[in-house]
Amino acid sequence: MNHLADNWIDRFQGLRGLPADIRADLKSGSRIVSVPAGTRVFEPGQSADNLLLLLEGTVRVQHHSATGRDVLLYRVHAGESCVLTTACMLAFENYSAEGIAETAVTAAAIPRKVFDELVAHSSIFREFVFTAYSRRITDLFTLIDDIVFQRMDVRLASRLLELANAEGYVHATHAVLASELGTAREVISRTLSEFHRRGWIEQLRGEIRLLGREGLEQLVRSV
């Protein structure tokens, strides 16, 4: 923990250029927090009181739809900030989605007062905040485009390739994949059955083994 507290600012490229006085204010006004895997970091209706800059781990940000489905919006990885938190802090609004720690997470928590002061008085910090914000907004528009316009078999093939480890295994249930792609579990099950019929995958308990990576890659390239 100590080594994270000492040099965490330099883990974020956009903050490395902060002058010594602003850097000191940011460090003294923030605190390092850690939560175990599975912790709900924030939830709908909760106020955004701290901007979290992730030092270790991954946070999954998802929205619970009116139909009862959890739709993955994005993941926050080490070296990144949460755009939803940024938006809520700037607009003084409560969260409309939830963030779940997928792994053990360590982050620098910047309280609203410190955040507001730095955004107002430091052009470097302000640029860091809005650059991250704009990049994530672009990602969200891509997600919307995928959900509305791209075929589910193509999206699932792409996600399997993305999630597979070096041995070709994807550790995810049908329900998890449905949440990843914003669809129903039954749709995922049907599509995986077709992939299995084509010899591209093998379905195991709680995981999927890729047998025909070339076929999946060709499907993704076909659109």
Same domain? 57 vs 95: yes
**Domain final residue, candidates 147, 168, 201:** 147
DSSP letter at 47 equals B
pTM to 2 decimals?
Answer: 0.69
Nearest C-alpha neighbor of 108 from the set 125, 95, 120: 125
Q: Which of 70-79, 152-161, 193-202 has the lowest mean pLDDT?
A: 70-79
Going by C-beta distance under 8 Å and a sequence separation of 6 or more, which residues neighbour residue 200? 210, 211, 212, 213, 215, 216
Same domain? 33 vs 134: yes
Predicted confidence at residue 59, as pLDDT, reads 95
Same domain? 88 vs 155: no
CATH code of 199's domain: 1.10.10.10
Q: Which domain holds residue 89?
A: 2-147
How confident is residue 201, by pLDDT bands cut at 50, 70 and 90? very high
Same domain? 66 vs 143: yes
pLDDT tens readout for residues 113-122 = 999 999 999 9
Same domain? 47 vs 135: yes
